[in-house]
C-alpha cells in the first residue's frame, strides 16, 4: 500500500533553515507529481508546492516563493522541501502528498511538525 | 486567506443528510479548461486529511456511496447521507487555480452530528 513518511521537522529559530524529507513506497514514485501541504495549528490546509513527476516543473505558493525549494530524487523514492529564511508564520504540520491528477491529492503522509520560534 | 469559501459548520442528527458548499471563481472551480475538477477531503480529529471525492463526483475505492459530489458553475457541493457519528470531521474542498498556478483549498467546514 502507499506509504509517505515525512521526517526532518523540529524547532528552529526564525531566519534559519530546515530540510524536510519524505520517503515514498507502495507506488511507482517516478510516475507521479508530489505536493507539500501544510496546516498551521488549529487552522486550515495551505498548499505549499508541487513538483512534476520528473522534477522538471515546480510551482510554489506566493507565501513561500523564493524561500522554499521542492525537489525529488527518483532513484531514492524521496521528496524534499528545503526551507530557508523561516518565519514564525511557517509554523505548521507539513504533509507530503501524492498527486492523483486533475487537481486531486490521493495520499497524505502523517505529517511532520515544524515550529519556528526563538 | 483561502480562495475557496465554505460554511464554517453544518450539523444534523444521525441518519440525516447534510450538504457543504464550496464557492470559487472562474479561475478555479469555474475554469472550463485544464484542471478545474473539484476534490473533497475529510480530516478526522488528529489525523491527516483523506480523499473523499475527486474529479467533482468520483469516489476512491473504499469510500461509501453515502458521500457524493457535484459541481455547477463556480461552485461545488459535497453531500453526506445517512449521517453517522464517525462522520464528525472537518471537510475541505480543493482544486487547481489557473490564475495563481497553485492548488487551492477551501476554508473548511466542521460537521457535527447532533
Q: What is the mean pLDDT of each run of 10 residues along chain A (118 residues)?
A: 97 98 97 97 97 96 97 98 98 97 92 97
- pLDDT at res. B1: 64
- pLDDT at res. B35: 60
Q: Which residue among B48, B54, B94 sits closest to A95, beta carbon to beta carbon?
A: B48
pLDDT digits (tens, 9 = 90+) for B35-81: 679 999 999 999 999 999 999 999 999 999 999 999 999 999 999 99
**What is the DSSP track for A48-110?**
EEEE-TTSS-EEE-TTTTTTEEEEEETTTTEEEEEE-S--GGG-EEEEEEEEEETTEEEEE--
pLDDT over 90 percentage in chain B: 89
- pLDDT at res. A101: 84
Q: Does A42 touch chain B (CB under 8 A)?
A: no
> Best of B103, B104, B107 to disrupt the A interface by mutation (most A CBs within 10 Å)?
B103
- pLDDT at res. A103: 82
CA–CA separation, B104 and B101 (whole Å): 9
Q: Report the gap between the CA of A47 and the closest CA in chain B (Å).
A: 6
pLDDT over 70 percentage in chain B: 96
- pLDDT at res. B34: 62
The three cell numbers locating residue B1: 486567506
Q: Report the gap between the CA of B36 and the closest CA in chain A (Å).
A: 7
- pLDDT at res. B39: 97
Residues of chain A contacting residue B106, judged by C-beta atoms under 8 Å apart: 44
Q: Report the gap between the CA of A60 and the closest CA in chain B (Å).
A: 7
Contact A104 B50 (CB under 8 A): no
Closest CA to B61 of B70, B71, B53, B49: B53
- pLDDT at res. A102: 80
Q: Report the gap between the CA of A15 and the closest CA in chain B (Å).
A: 23
Reply yes or no on whether the pLDDT at B96 is more than 80: yes
Closest chain B CA to residue A106:
B51
Torsion region of B55: left, alpha or beta (phi above 0 gives left; psi -120 to 50 gives alpha): left
Amino acid at each position: 500500500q502507499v506509504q509517505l513518511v515525512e521526517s526532518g521537522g523540529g524547532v528552529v529559530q526564525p531566519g534559519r533553515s530546515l530540510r524536510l524529507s519524505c520517503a515514498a513506497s507502495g507506488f511507482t514514485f517516478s510516475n507521479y507529481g508530489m505536493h507539500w501541504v501544510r496546516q498551521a495549528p488549529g487552522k486550515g490546509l495551505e498548499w505549499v508546492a508541487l513538483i512534476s513527476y520528473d522534477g522538471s516543473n515546480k510551482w510554489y505558493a506566493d507565501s513561500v516563493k523564493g524561500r522554499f525549494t521542492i525537489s525529488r530524487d527518483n532513484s531514492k523514492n524521496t521528496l524534499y522541501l528545503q526551507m530557508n529564511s523561516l518565519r514564525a508564520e511557517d509554523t505548521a504540520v507539513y504533509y507530503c502528498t501524492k498527486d492523483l491528477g486533475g487537481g486531486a491529492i490521493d495520499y497524505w503522509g502523517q505529517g511532520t511538525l515544524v515550529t519556528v520560534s526563538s | 486567506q483561502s480562495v475557496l469559501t465554505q460554511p464554517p459548520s453544518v450539523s444534523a442528527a444521525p441518519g440525516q443528510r447534510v450538504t457543504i458548499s464550496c464557492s470559487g471563481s472562474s479561475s478555479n472551480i469555474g475554469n472550463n479548461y485544464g484542471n478545474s475538477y473539484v476534490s473533497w477531503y475529510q480530516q478526522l480529529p488528529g489525523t491527516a486529511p483523506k480523499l473523499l471525492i475527486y474529479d467533482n463526483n468520483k469516489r476512491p475505492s473504499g469510500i461509501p456511496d453515502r458521500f457524493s459530489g457535484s459541481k455547477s458553475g463556480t461552485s461545488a457541493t459535497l453531500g453526506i447521507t445517512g449521517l453517522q457519528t464517525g462522520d464528525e470531521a472537518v471537510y475541505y474542498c480543493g482544486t487547481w487555480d489557473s490564475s495563481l498556478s497553485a492548488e487551492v483549498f477551501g476554508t473548511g467546514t466542521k460537521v457535527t452530528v447532533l
